[in-house]
A and B are shown apart, each in its own frame.
Chain A
Amino acid sequence: MIPLLRQILRVGIVTEPAPPADETLRLTTQRLSDAVARQIGRALVIRHVDAGSCNGCELELHALGNPYYNLEAIGIKFAASPRHADLLLVTGPVAKNMEVGLKRAYDAMPEPKLVVAVGDCGCTGGIFGESYASCGRVANVIPVDVAIPGCPPTPLQLMQGILAAIAPAQVESNPGT
């Protein structure tokens, strides 16, 4: 137990004001927190569905939970069921084999059913495109509110995209604050 506590003390809280290289990260964290507080009381719940990605986007979504980005600390968390979710985060082109599953997850969500398509594949179908096995971009299957490009998008871009989905007016009127 003592080595464990010592390690926690040694590392400290890395989510706190960051070194200069991480300045943009800290600002985004603040923006997101403010927007979430105003819109839905710091309790945005996300359900993620991988509809056919290469798994690159999932790696960066996982990073959102690391101590640097610490998404949960500002009120945003991932849920296990679409019935608990305000926002559906979809990665990948929609594989034909996942089309039914994705539609069912969407149908199971309560309103307002926000949808964010993640990555170049989610936005356009990416390098996989449309074929016998791929429906292409997410918007070909369910309505999409925000599309976050990138292959994969960085955790920072992911946070900015999620922010755009819940507070588009604030982002537009106060860029960079």
Chain B
Amino acid sequence: MRFLDQPIEFESLPGHAIPVFAARTTADELAAFCHAAHAAERRLVALWGSDERDREPGAGYALHVAFDLAEGLVCLTLPTAPDQPVFPDMSPAFPAADRMQRAVRDTIGATSEGGDQRAWLRHANWPEDYYPLRRDTPDARFETRNEDYPFVRVEGDGVHEVAVGPIHAGIIEPGHFRFSVMGENVLRLEERLGWKHKGIERRFVGMALAEGARLAGRVSGDSTVAYAWAYSQACEAIADVTPPPRARWLRALLLERERVANHLGDLGYLGNDVALAFGLAQFLRLREDWLRLNAKLFGHRLLMDRIVPGGVAIDLDAQGAEAIIDQCHAIEEDVRRLKSIYDEHAGLQDRFLTTGRITPALARRLGIIGLAGRASAQRWDLRCEHPCAPYDELKPKMAIERNGDVAARALVRFAELGEAFRLVRKLIVDMPAGELRRDLRSAPDKRGFGWVEGWRGDVLVAIETGADGKIRRGHCHDPSWQNWAALEHAVIDNIVPDFPLINKSFNLSYAGPDL
């Protein structure tokens, strides 16, 4: 099977929840495919490396690049040399590739030919030649050192730098922002992330599939359902197991509940960031009601560990279903009232409109995805594009805005809340009866992919087993990889005090891409 008129023969990987195709390529073929995908306006989904030296004599490393095509997920694997492994620089076509390529260098030691060569996940706290994802790298502890990171300097009369983080002034994840400003205006923002890197991918190695589910569910706590589902899809492809219909419907119910919980919180904080504390109090109250029902019906406020490989670890009885329907009506009513208050509030709209703008053309070029992409007219939602069951039956309506500012990102959230309430109700009314979980036995030397549209954007999980059926390589890709780079553009020409508002309107994950 061939795509984009490129001379690469792909094979279809069976047993996946979404269509997945894979092929091995040469460097030239990969570069050509990359340009063809870019020309066809398709997206780069993720990029990661692996160590293949123990497979056969003379083998080196491998670079894996996943694209979204109209046909489904397409994964190209480029084998590299064992000594001084290199791969083509994909950042000219897909700017978001830059930091992923740097992470491949930090973890595997394979380097892009060209592009930014600064370390990304490594902050000088372990040696440059300690590559945690090489299979012969031993466990080790190192002295903590202080890094002097070479930020790009903006020079000229009146330009100065504002350094923020890694510890921020609130209950927030750590990250560093370096602003170059002139007066109040931001000329340039450069992000330095990776502070939360805690070795998740190395941790996956040697885990049984069942064990890895807990870890995948803790890559990014606010998207635990999306990660757990994507991870389970990958495991089910490896084990060639299809989860029972009721389990799939319950998974979608949990995913939509996670979406609602996050959107409610964000809309509150967006109000708070423009001094409308009323909005925060109101929306956090609704979010708390929502989480309490999660705890009551499913045993966990954030729904961690409720989706497991093979199915789900929860069920819903008639009483619970009724409670959810009732709550949906009550909260939808409140959200409708609050939206009209936000819409009519001059002070709020004044701060929201035209702030942190990403035009559709820029969004296209940067490859912005998920919620933030849809606020800049990037018509892409995995639930609509490649719907897995039950989304093929639910037919979610995509929320789209064109202005790409804080107001647009708020509007997308409002629209997605409304749609999520509809989906939740439909899921409950139409939910099939039956079993909740199938037994799942791992298989040796197999690959599985999982791909789920979380509330922030699409989460990809790629799992590969070794000869013993345990995890050999586990890669989790957060949509924030793509969108952090976009935030740097969104703040240009805005004033420094609007940064928290713009940042909140994206609400990207630090833990997710830091891994």
- Listed in ascending order, the chain A residues whose CB lies under 8 Å from chain B are 3-4, 7-8, 11, 14, 48-63, 65-68, 78, 80-81, 92-93, 95-101, 105, 126-134, 151-152, 154
Residue in A closest to B281 when the chains form the complex, CB atoms: A67
Beyond A61-B171, A68-B285, A80-B170, is A53–B196 a contact (Cβ under 8 Å)?
yes
CB distance from B271 to the nearest CB of A (A): 11
Q: Which residues of A contact B200 (CB under 8 A)?
A: 128
Beyond A54-B511, A127-B214, A132-B142, is A59–B284 a contact (Cβ under 8 Å)?
no
Main secondary structure of the interface of B (DSSP, over half): loop
- Alpha-carbon distance A78/B194, docked complex (angstroms): 25
Determine which of A96, A97, A105, A152 lies in contact with B167 in the assembled complex, contact meaning CB atoms within 8 Å: A105
CB distance from B294 to the nearest CB of A (A): 11
Q: Which residues of B contact A3 (CB under 8 A)?
A: 337, 340-341, 344
Q: List 11 other contacts, CB 8 Å, given A8-B278, A57-B221.
A: A7-B282, A50-B173, A58-B173, A80-B169, A92-B198, A95-B198, A128-B199, A128-B203, A131-B139, A132-B141, A133-B202
Q: Which residues of A contact B144 (CB under 8 A)?
A: 96, 99-100
Beyond A55-B221, A66-B285, is A95–B173 a contact (Cβ under 8 Å)?
no
B493-510 vs A, CB cutoff 8 Å, 1 = contact: the mask equals 000000000000000011
The answer on a CB contact under 8 Å between A55 and B509 is: yes
Q: Which of A4, A68, A127 has the most CB of B within 10 A?
A: A4
The answer on a CB contact under 8 Å between B197 and A95 is: yes
CB distance from B399 to the nearest CB of A (A): 23
What are the 6 A-B residue pairs with the smallest beta carbon separation, nearest first?
A56-B221, A80-B169, A66-B284, A133-B199, A54-B221, A55-B221
> Number of B interface residues, CB 8 Å?
60
Main secondary structure of the interface of A (DSSP, over half): mixed
The answer on a CB contact under 8 Å between A60 and B301 is: yes
Residues of chain B in range 192-210 having any CB-CB distance to chain A below 8 Å: 194-200, 202-203
The answer on a CB contact under 8 Å between B221 and A97 is: no
Beyond A62-B265, A132-B142, is A127–B215 a contact (Cβ under 8 Å)?
yes
The answer on a CB contact under 8 Å between B302 and A50 is: no
The answer on a CB contact under 8 Å between A95 and B195 is: yes
Q: Which residues of A contact B287 (CB under 8 A)?
A: 63, 66
Q: Which residues of B contact A97 (CB under 8 A)?
A: 123, 125, 166, 194-197
- Alpha-carbon distance A58/B171, docked complex (angstroms): 6
B219 within 8 A of A: yes
The answer on a CB contact under 8 Å between A50 and B174 is: yes
CB distance from A43 to the nearest CB of B (A): 19
B224 within 8 A of A: yes
Q: Which residues of A contact B337 (CB under 8 A)?
A: 3, 7
Name 22 A/B residue pairs within 8 A (Cβ), A-sorted.
A3-B337, A7-B341, A11-B285, A50-B171, A53-B196, A54-B219, A56-B304, A58-B172, A59-B222, A63-B288, A66-B287, A98-B195, A105-B167, A126-B218, A128-B198, A131-B199, A132-B130, A132-B141, A134-B199, A152-B302, A154-B295, A154-B301
Beyond A96-B144, A98-B166, A132-B139, is A63–B224 a contact (Cβ under 8 Å)?
no
- Alpha-carbon distance A154/B281, docked complex (angstroms): 19
The answer on a CB contact under 8 Å between A68 and B288 is: yes
- Alpha-carbon distance A48/B167, docked complex (angstroms): 9
The answer on a CB contact under 8 Å between B199 and A132 is: yes
Residues of chain B in range 257-295 having any CB-CB distance to chain A below 8 Å: 265, 278, 280-282, 284-285, 287-288, 291, 295
- Alpha-carbon distance A134/B142, docked complex (angstroms): 10
The answer on a CB contact under 8 Å between A50 and B199 is: no
Q: Which residues of B contact A58 (CB under 8 A)?
A: 171-173, 221
CB distance from B230 to the nearest CB of A (A): 15
- Alpha-carbon distance A99/B146, docked complex (angstroms): 10
The answer on a CB contact under 8 Å between A53 and B511 is: yes
Determine which of A8, A14, A127, A131 lies in contact with B202 in the assembled complex, contact meaning CB atoms within 8 Å: A131
The answer on a CB contact under 8 Å between A49 and B196 is: no
The answer on a CB contact under 8 Å between A7 and B338 is: yes
Beyond A7-B338, A99-B125, A101-B174, is A131–B203 a contact (Cβ under 8 Å)?
yes
B121-139 vs A, CB cutoff 8 Å, 1 = contact: the mask equals 0010110001010000001
CB distance from A148 to the nearest CB of B (A): 15
Beyond A54-B221, A78-B170, is A66–B281 a contact (Cβ under 8 Å)?
yes
B140 within 8 A of A: yes
Residues of chain B in range 180-201 having any CB-CB distance to chain A below 8 Å: 194-200
Q: Which residues of A contact B215 (CB under 8 A)?
A: 127
- Alpha-carbon distance A155/B283, docked complex (angstroms): 17
Determine which of A14, A56, A80, A132 lies in contact with B126 in the assembled complex, contact meaning CB atoms within 8 Å: A132
